[in-house]
Structure 1
Amino acid sequence: MIALLGRPDPATTQAIQFARGILEGSATAFYEVDSNLNLNRFVLSTGVPAGFHDQYLAGMNRLDPLHPRSATNQPIARLSTALNQCATRDAATYRSFADQCGVADMIEFFFRRNDRIVAGMSVLWAPGCKIPDGSMNIAEKIHDYLEFNLTSRLSGSDEASRYGLTARELEVVELLCCGRTNREISECLNIGLATVKTHLIHIFEKLGVETRSAVVALMSRPH
């Protein structure tokens, strides 16, 4: 597994690998969801197409029919089905984006705590890969197991509440912790470079640190 934003514990890694294996997926992407339905703390497996994640964060997420904001009460959803049911320009743009990045289809899991989506996971298939017969039935049967194992270990927004970070500041911290430069953070979050610098000033003040490395060290400590 490749942990972009934080390191998953072994049990989390095992649950993610289980889902990928039983659904014969090409790759997986696990993420946490804050109270504003922003996605963060991504954990990507090997096999996620190059550029897919960065382009998703840079703006394609706004067109994603499987984004948690569109989940309603569904525990799972499938990309091909969602796109076929939504014949809009946005859906066509997202289908083209997925095709260009080498994503033939995916199943999205939505994990809840107290009726709020707190995490999700995508299982992706590359073009030409076998998608198991009855894959949605399989996904539905393993959903509760995954939800229990993955949400019980979430850090959620502990850092946000502990230090008073806003949702956007937390996103900046997470990208900083995986080595992104200010310009890369700007591109990933689709905000100006000056805005990134302003966020960093506020983050340093709230955390009581003076350097980027101190932020990383503080966020790496077990709480």
Structure 2
Amino acid sequence: MIALLGRSDPATTQAIQFARGILEGSATAFYEVDGNLNLNRFVLSSGVPSGFHEQYIAGMNRLDPLHPRAASNQSFARLSVAIDRCGTQEAATYRNFAGQCGISDMIEFFFRRNDRVVAGMSVLWGLGCKIPEGTMNIAEKIHDYLEFNLINRLSSPSEEAARYGLTSRELEVIELLCCGRTNREISECLNIGLATVKTHLIHIFEKLGVETRSAVVAMMSRPH
């Protein structure tokens, strides 16, 4: 497994490997979802096409028909089916993007806590690979198992705040930091000044007892 801004603890790794194996996928990507539906703390398996993740984070996620913002009440969905149903230019562009990155299809799992999507998992199939017959039925059967094993290990924002004495604004800064955002991007996302972002980071470093941005990400990515 390759952990990228995420949790590489044994339980998470085992659940991801289980999903990839039983569904006969080419690769998997697990991620957490914050209150603003931003994806962060990714854990990627080997086999994720080179450049796909970077381009996805850089902006292609806005076109993704399987993004959590489009999850509705679904527990899982298939990319090719979602694209055909959308029938939009954005969906067609995303299909081309996936194909150029070497992805033929994928199944997306949505995991919820208190009716809110808090995490998800992508199971990808490379070009030349077909989703095996009956895979969607298997996905339905394993969804609750995956949700139980993965979501119970996530800390809620209130738990994080109580543990370290973080303010709601500091939690927002940390969430964006874990997404790989720069100080300027955090400033724009939260509509606050650049100097204010730096002040928040100083307070976050002090409360967590760390000295670097990467240490913040590593600490907040640990299972609790």
User: What TM-score does the superposition give when structure 2 sets the normalisation length?
Assistant: 0.83
The aligned runs of 1:27-176 (5 Å cut-off) are 27-157=27-157, 158-159=159-160, 162-164=165-167, 166=169, 168-174=172-178
Match of 1:204 in 2: 202
1:154 Cα deviation from its structure 2 partner = 1.2
Using the TM superposition, name which of 151-160 and 207-216 deviates more: 207-216
Aligned residues of 1:15 and 1:150 also touching (Cα < 8 A)? yes
**Could you say if the C-alpha distance between residues 144 and 222 of structure 1 is closer, same or farther in structure 2, counting changes exceeding 3 Å?**
closer
Once structures 1 and 2 are overlaid, which stretch shifts more, 6-15 or 20-29?
Answer: 6-15
Equivalents in 1 of 2:223, 2:113: separation in Å? 22
Structure 2 unaligned segments of length 5 or more: list them: none
Instruction: Give SS of 2:124's match.
Output: strand
8 Å contact 1:34–1:156 — kept in the other structure?
no
Deviation of the 1:210 alpha carbon: 8.1
Question: Matched residue of 2:103: which SS?
Answer: coil
Once the two structures are superposed, residues 72-115 of structure 1 have per-residue CA deviations (whole angstroms, 9 ceiling, x without a partner) of 10001000000001111111111111111111100000011111
Task: Indicate the percent of aligned positions where both proteins have the same amino acid.
Answer: 67
Relative to 1, partners in 2 of residues 1:105 and 1:222: Cα closer, same or farther, differing over 3 Å? Answer: closer
Greater displacement, 77-86 / 203-212: 203-212
Query: Aligned equivalents of 2:67 and 2:203: distance in 1?
Result: 33
Deviation (angstroms), 1:30: 0.4
Alpha-carbon offset, residue 168 of structure 1:
4.8
Does the 8 Å contact 2:29/2:123 carry over to 1? yes
What is the CA distance between 1:17 and its match in structure 2?
A: 0.5
Structure 2 CA distance, aligned partners of 1:84 and 1:220?
36
Q: State the 1:221 CA deviation.
A: 7.4
Q: Provide the C-alpha distance between the structure 2 equivalents of 1:144 and 1:219, rounded to a whole number of angstroms.
A: 25
Q: CA deviation at 1:24?
A: 0.6
Conservation of the 8 A alpha-carbon contact between 1:118 and 1:156: no
Following TM superposition, by how much is the alpha carbon of 1:216 offset from its aligned partner in structure 2, in angstroms? 5.7
Q: 1:219 to 1:143 in 2, by over 3 A?
A: closer
Q: 1:103·1:127 contact (CA, 8 Å) conserved in 2?
A: yes
Amino acid in structure 2 at the alignment position of 1:113: R
Which runs of no fewer than 5 residues in structure 1 stay unpaired?
none
Number of residue equivalences:
215
1:199 corresponds to which letter in structure 2? Answer: V
How big is the alpha-carbon RMSD for the aligned residues of Structure 1 and Structure 2? 3.0
What secondary structure does 1:163 align onto?
Answer: coil
Asked if the contact 1:2/1:43 (under 8 Å) is kept, the reply is yes
- Deviation, 1:201, is 3.9
